[in-house]
Structure 1
Amino acid sequence: MKAHKLNKAKAWLICCEKSQIADSDSSDREVEEHKARNKTKKQLDNKEENKAKDKMEIDVENKVENTTENQVDKTEDKVRSKTQGDIENEVENKVKNQRGKIENKLEVKTEDDVKIESQADEVENKERNTTEGDVENKMENKVENKVENQIDKTENKLETNTEDDVKNKVEMDKTENKLDTKTEDHVEIKNQMENQVENKVGSKTEDNVENEIKNEAENKVEIESNVDKEVDNQEKQENILSTSHTIGVLTLVGAQHGASLTADVTCSDSRELHCMSPMIMATLTVFARLVSSQCAHAKLLRLTGRQPLFAGCDAGLVYGRGAMACMCTDQGYDYDLLVIGGGSGGLAAAKEAVGLGAKVAVLDYVTPSPIGTTWGLGGTCVNVGCIPKKLMHQAALLGEAVHEAATLGWQLDPKSVKIDWESLRTAVQNHIKSVNWVTRVELRTKKIEYFNALGHFKDAHTVVGITKKGEEKILTAKNILVAVGGRPKYPDIPGAVEYGISSDDIFSLERAPGKTLIVGAGYIGLECAGFLNGLGYDTTLIIRSLVLRGFDRQMAIHVAEEMQQRGVKFNYEAKLKKVSKQEDGRLLADWIDKDGQIHQDVYDTVLFAIGRRPLTQELKPENVGLKLVPETGKIDAVNEQTNVPNIYAVGDVLHKKPELTPVAIHAGKLLARRLYGNSTEKMDYTNVATTVFTPLEYGCVGLSEEAAITLHGEQEIEIFHAYYKPTEFFVPQKNVDRCYVKVIALRHGDERVLGMHFVGPNAGEVIQGFAVAIKCGLTMPKLKSTVGIHPTVAEEFTRINITKRSGLDPKPQSCCS
């Protein structure tokens, strides 16, 4: 056994000598080899005797901590930059210069030092010369390949890092000199940290290694079987490190004045991870005291890529005042939650999750529109939806108010009032950019990692992000949230994509839109038509079938008729056939009416608002088996969970769920609480209030009249309704024919309110409060018993008492009775 182990030691010695020969400028290799061997043999017996006689009983752990604290700043960069090749080269190059220093250090070593050194030496040798025959051959080949077959690779590395290496070596020599006067145990740190590749082995000298190899060869027979086990375990770790590409980020967590260190380590196979040597543990304890962190799930050593868990992660040992525990999180993923999409829903979930201790990342990327429009972080609502729409809606209302002001005594010429599109656009875009900035800052503050990359699935836990430059980022997570939202559709007709724009473009349009044709009459089409007309631009709508599909029919007609009275042109049951560009740059639009007649007109802008498509196909759902609804491309999720258990979805990508920003935000928050906060609360998608910001706004909550009849039957519901006159409409003599409220309730029992609808000024502000009441189970008796605030438009709900079934006139006779 002794002879067998001695042969291993000799094999490693030969490896070291070969490496020295490869990097040395000496022309006589054989002389150097014999020198190294002879010198080590001569010193073998003397140093063994000196070690046994001159031992000092010094607390190794305290010295290690004190030494490390003094030297950490100087050695930290060296530790991280070392490779196994660097270690071997530096060990060999230090032979001639460090013999005297090693002798002094070895003279003052304690008996414990000798034991630890012997164990460390055995670890060092067994890492390279495994006890099993087949592993031994593998390691011998590995040694020879490193010295002989990969010299060029090593030389290239050394060439690119020569200056840094020289500086590092000079600093290491200084460190050695300081250690000579302050502690004799720095060598132990080097020996024990060899297993971590990047630790302080770099400062060990060749002479020290050769002496310790000889010592180990003499003492191997006396080492007990528990040391053999440790060597085997260290061997496995060395193999793991050598096959796992590179060592990732070092993060010391919870290390406030002696707090424990947590190691979350991933590897390239399922072999066990066993705890490191005592000296390493003591050293890391000192490092822990220098770092303060609030993160709940830190990773001390993380290898790149998603790897299987180690089997032995329950092995945790305490050394001195510090502890190292293997706390392998779920499969060693990069993140607990990875959000694809930087819109309102995704960001809400990300912020909620990180507040509950999860590690979160967000991917967001805006593919330019057909005319090249892009925007920043925040999604549709912030950049091309709710926010700019409401601002332009407000600009139109202010223009209307200026004209009305003359009737209330303001001295001005309404004819001189006009909009400056460039100023309006600039003001809107400046506000949007400020929101983008605040959003970015908030992510950094909350420690949410943000990647400006277009993500798609590689597998159920891996997402590939493609940056603007075409670079790939591979990210892994236990849970993935799809919150990619949607983008406007374009019809399949000539000229639509080439010359048309959408809601993605209108709010940042460089030129004034001028005479505009809007194709589509959903809420986006009507809102755009409303503010463009209010800003003074000629506006025409082409409507294939219904206005505001999905809303209460009576209320939708009220809105459309009111817009027509304001000057918006409606072409019902018409279909656009093509768009072409004239020589003057204007657009010629051809459409066909319900009778088959073809019409043409010239416009400055053609805006398509025919619906939106979810960005689910871009995710490559087939890679993970994510099921989509064929007709819509949306995800039919249950409680935001898709058919893939760890993949969730919120927002506009969900099938038959309201495409509203507050819905996505609330669903995202509740999902994060269920995933990371032990909550059981689920999203309630019923009775969600909304408002269409047309010139005369329309707000609603609950069921439409048609839906209530379908669910409960016409004889089981009662429809209360009324027209009303806003006080602010009287003096300017504005039309009040379309100011209308409607309440739908059960006819029997408690007369529970099923739906409320309001057309009039500030509809959104009015309906929000009543949405709370419906959530609380509002009934008609409760509503009628509520005293309203006078004079307001909201009080009309409390005054309502006429039913459609009665046939009575719902128009008011007086404003105050």
Structure 2
Amino acid sequence: MTHGNLSITSSPLKKVAVCDFVKPTPIGTTWGLGGTCVNVGCIPKKLLHQSALIGKYLDDAFGWNTPDKVTHDWNKMVEKIQEHIKSLNWRYRVRLKDEKVDFINAYASFLDSHNLKTVDKRNKERIITARHIVIAKGSCPRYPSIPLAKEYCITSDDIFSLPHSPGKTLCVGASYIALECAGFLKGLGLEVEVMVHYILLRGFDQQIAELIGKSMKEEGVKFYRGFVPIKIEKVEDGSASEEKPPTLKVTSKHQESGEIREDIYNTVLFAIGRDACTDEIAADKAGIVLNPLNGKVIVDEAERTNVKNIFGIGDVLDGKLELTPVGIQVGIQLSRRMYGGQDSLMDYNNVLKTVYAAIEYGSVGFSKEAAIEIFGADGIEIYHKHFTPLEYTLPKKGDNVGYAKLICIKSLNERVVGLHYFGPNAGEITQGFALGLKLNARKADFDNLEPAAEPEIKKFAQGVVFSKINVNGSDAHPLWKFLKSECPGTLGE
């Protein structure tokens, strides 16, 4: 049962079925086969990000003769993006057919640990029996408990197929989804504001999170820190046929001062978190244990639930990374273990993460905050460098806009456990370094690099040491002490 992770179907199985059914969003948005990433996630997000960057390239196109005023056509962009997505949907259908996988376009729920009931859009029921079942339901955007929020507002599930330009937009949330949406909408020339309850990008390196916020402010995005919306009203209806967005009035309140503010927007986009899509799969009938706090599926290191023949992969898993490439790799390895005679487990460490804000941020490994928690403040050494990207010199976008950081463990010969890069093309630049960290790269390995694509990486070595090393100090995290004493090989010693 899946919302799109098809990697499990690529193994040489005797008989496989995929159940996939998309329930429309509150405003009626729906999509085809392929899951969140293909339809309403990574793919359209990156394409909109690229579209916004092209607008900036035109501003910086020295030597090229461009019109004084360049305008953007929202509908034409959405049309081309949706054409590409539909082509991917079709390729998935063809691949499933070629692999002789039974595609069931219906919603599946458990009857017991081996039997599922599916219901299609015509309410036609079907019973399926399987030896093994894999839950890959993914997650869906969360709405706040504000009256009419679902009726009047949208999420990332809706923005990529919106039939009109969003107009003046309020993005509510501090997640990477909120900041990415705010970034590309501003890049497309729209007025954008962001309402943040507390900190930006929880779980990411906070120094760079604030750099992202600073760069977005300089681009013209307004931030309201500490405010949360408490009331949403419709002032005027929109019209899809006239390509006209609605007009909404949002009342918000500051969580400390109690200040009330009101403003008018055309679009309100909530990006305040995601919830596991497990509330209607009747997991209890199969005896599957879910985390009662978030509804996510609890699995062991082999992605097996407490029911021996039922597994889980992707965003639906409790305590795992919510990234599509991770879910795909987990599915591949699971199929190899189940039917290929292999025993390799997924390594969830040193996974590349990229935030496609106006200026991109790529990271591998620990943030500064996480490194201090695990290895102790005296157990790490940090090298960093502010720099001016070459692309920013002619348009004079400011000095020292870019930033690079290495987090090292000195007791292990300065093994690198965290790499962070904030600058143009960060998503591409940092990809290769994930392998380096997996292979226990040391800072000296970076000192000897001569990269052709991005010389700023070499400038990691020119940074400043922030702290002394004392891995045996009392502030060392218990996990660090355990790994040192009981599992030394895991740290590459």
TM-score between the two structures when normalised by the length of structure 1: 0.55
Report the counterpart of residue 718 of structure 1 in structure 2. Answer: 381
Kindly report which structure 2 residues correspond to 1:187-226, keeping only aligned pairs within 5 A, or say none: none
Residue 687 (structure 1) aligned to one of 345, 350, 356: 350
Which letter maps to 2:371? A
Closer, same or farther in 2 for the Cα pair 1:548/1:684, shift >3 Å?
Answer: same
Aligned match for 1:670, one of 333, 336, 348:
333
Deviations 1:219-239 (A, max 9, x none): xxxxxxxxxxxxxxxxxxxxx
1:528 is paired with a residue whose SS is helix
Q: Distance in 1 between matches of 2:397 and 2:67?
A: 19
Please list, as runs of the form range in 1=range in 2, the aligned pairs for 1:577-596 lying within 5 A after superposition. 577-583=230-236, 585-593=246-254, 594-596=256-258
The residue number in structure 1 matching 2:240 is none
What CA distance in whole angstroms lies between the structure 1 residues aligned with 2:463 and 2:384?
Answer: 7
Deviation by residue 1:227-264 (Cα, 9 ceiling, x = unmatched): xxxxxxxxxxxxxxxxxxxxxxxxxxxxxxxxxxxxxx
1:554 to 2:217 alignment: no
Give distance in 1, aligned partners of 2:454 and 2:226: 41
Task: Output the amino acid matched with 2:326.
Answer: V
Q: Tell me which amino acid in the other structure corresponds to 2:2.
A: G
Letter in 1 for 2:9: A
Tell me the secondary structure at the aligned position of residue 755 of structure 1.
strand
1:566 to 190, 210, 219: 219
CA contact (8 A) 1:726 1:792 kept: no
> 2:431 and 2:64 mapped to 1: Cα distance?
33
Q: Is the 8 A contact 1:361 1:448 kept in 2?
A: yes
Alignment-derived partner of residue 64 in structure 2: 410
How far apart are 1:363 and its partner, in Å? 0.3
Structure-2 residue corresponding to 1:371: 27
**CA–CA separation in structure 1 for the residues paired with 2:156 and 2:235:** 23
Residue of structure 2 in register with 1:350 after alignment: 9
- 1:495 and 2:156 matched: no
What amino acid is the match of 1:349?
I
How far apart in 1 are the matches of 2:365 and 2:378? 19
Gaps of 5+ in 1: 1-339, 807-817
CA distance in structure 1 between the partners assigned to 2:158 and 2:453 by the alignment: 42
Other-structure match for 1:211: none
Shift in alpha-carbon separation, 1:709–1:369, aligned structure 2, 3 A: same
Could you tell me how far apart the structure 2 residues matched to 1:801 and 1:779 are?
15
Residue of 514, 517, 540 corresponding to 2:167: 514
| 1:730-779 alpha-carbon deviations (Å, 9 max, x no partner) | 11111244310000000223211110001001111111111010011101
Q: How far off is 1:793 after superposition? A: 4.1
- The CA deviation string for residues 443-463 of structure 1, in whole angstroms up to 9 with x for no partner, is 001111100000000110011
Q: Which position in structure 2 is the counterpart of 1:731?
A: 394
More helix by share: 1
Offset of residue 794 of structure 1: 3.9
Equivalent residues of 1:551, 1:704 under 8 A apart: yes
| Matching residue's letter, 1:786 | L
1:624 maps to 2:286: yes
Higher relative contact order (CA 8 A, sep 6+): 2
Q: Judging changes above 3 Å, is the alpha-carbon distance between structure 1 residues 760 and 449 closer, same or farther for their aligned structure 2 residues?
A: same
| Residue 702 (str. 1) matches residue 365 (str. 2) | yes
* 1:291-440 equivalent positions in 2, closer than 5 A: 340-343=1-4, 346-351=5-10, 353=11, 356-405=12-61, 408-414=62-68, 416-440=69-93
Give distance in 2, aligned partners of 1:372 and 1:489. 16
> Secondary structure of 1:576's partner?
strand
Q: Distance in 2 between matches of 1:409 and 1:793?
A: 26
Aligned residue among 456, 459, 462 for 2:109: 456
Residue in 1 that maps onto 2:418: 755
Q: Kindly state the Cα deviation for residue 805 of structure 1 after the two structures are TM-superposed.
A: 4.1
Q: Is the 8 A contact 2:447 2:458 kept in 1?
A: no
Compared CA separation, residues 803 and 792, structure 1 to 2 (3 A): same
CA distance in 1, matches of 2:370, 2:167: 39
Please identify runs of 4+ aligned residues in structure 1 that moved more than 6 A. none
**8 Å CA contact retained: 2:388, 2:401:** no
Shift, 1:358, TM fit: 3.2
8 Å contact from structure 2 (residues 78, 160) kept in 1: yes
- 2:429–2:454 CA contact under 8 A, matched in 1: no
Using the TM superposition, give the Cα deviation of residue 786 of structure 1 relative to its aligned residue in structure 2, in angstroms: 2.3
Task: Quote the Cα distance in structure 1 between the aligned partners of 2:259 and 2:297.
Answer: 40
Deviation by residue 1:252-284 (Cα, 9 ceiling, x = unmatched): xxxxxxxxxxxxxxxxxxxxxxxxxxxxxxxxx
Give 1:425 deviation, angstroms.
Answer: 0.5
The answer to whether the Cα contact below 8 Å between 1:717 and 1:746 also exists between their aligned partners in 2 is yes
Q: 1:759-798, aligned counterparts within 5 Å?
A: 759-789=422-452, 792-797=455-460
Shift of 1:622: 1.1
1:597 corresponds to which of 243, 250, 259: 259
Cα distance in structure 1, aligned partners of 2:2 and 2:87: 19
Tell me the amino acid that sits aligned with residue 426 of structure 1: E
Displacement of 1:783 in angstroms is: 1.8
8 Å Cα contact 1:482/1:649 also seen in 2: yes
For 2:453 and 2:120, locate their aligned partners in 1 and report how far apart those are by CA, in whole Å.
57
Deviation string, structure 1 residues 670-722 (Cα, Å, up to 9, x no partner): 00000001100001111111100001000000011111111111111100000
> Do 1:719 and 1:744's aligned partners in 2 also have CA atoms closer than 8 Å?
yes
- Contact 1:530 / 1:563 at 8 angstroms: preserved in 2? yes
- Read off the aligned partner of 1:379 and give its amino acid letter: G
- 1:362-392 superposed Cα distances (whole Å, 9 cap, x missing partner): 0000000000000000000000000000000
Contact residue 197 and residue 227 of structure 2 kept, 8 A: yes
Change (3 A) 1:743 1:791: closer
- Give the letter aligned to residue 473 of structure 1: R
Point out where structure 2 has 5 or more consecutive residues left out of the alignment.
238-245, 469-493
Instruction: Map Cα deviations across residues 410-438 of structure 1 (whole Å, 9 max, x no partner).
Output: 12234x21110000110110000000001
Residues 791 and 432 (structure 1), Cα distance of their counterparts in 2 relative to 1, 3 Å cut: closer
2:474 alignment counterpart: none
| AA partner of residue 732 (structure 1) | P
1:661 aligns with 2:327: no
Distance 1:448 1:612 in 2: 30
Query: Take 2:219 and 2:19, find their aligned partners in 1: how far apart are those partners?
Result: 43
Q: CA RMSD in A?
A: 1.3
- Rounded to whole Å, the distance in 2 between the matches of 1:627 and 1:735 is 53
Q: Which amino acid aligns with 2:432?
A: G
Task: Give the TM-score taking structure 2 as reference length.
Answer: 0.91
Q: Deviations over 1:607-650 (max 9, x none)?
A: 11111111111111111111111111111211210011100000
2:14 alignment partner AA = A
Contact 1:527–1:693 at 8 Å: present in 2 too? yes
**Distance 1:709-1:450 versus aligned 2 partners, 3 A rule:** same
Offset at 1:524?
0.4
What is the CA–CA distance in structure 2 between the aligned matches of 1:398 and 1:535, rounded to whole Å?
Answer: 9
Larger radius of gyration: 1
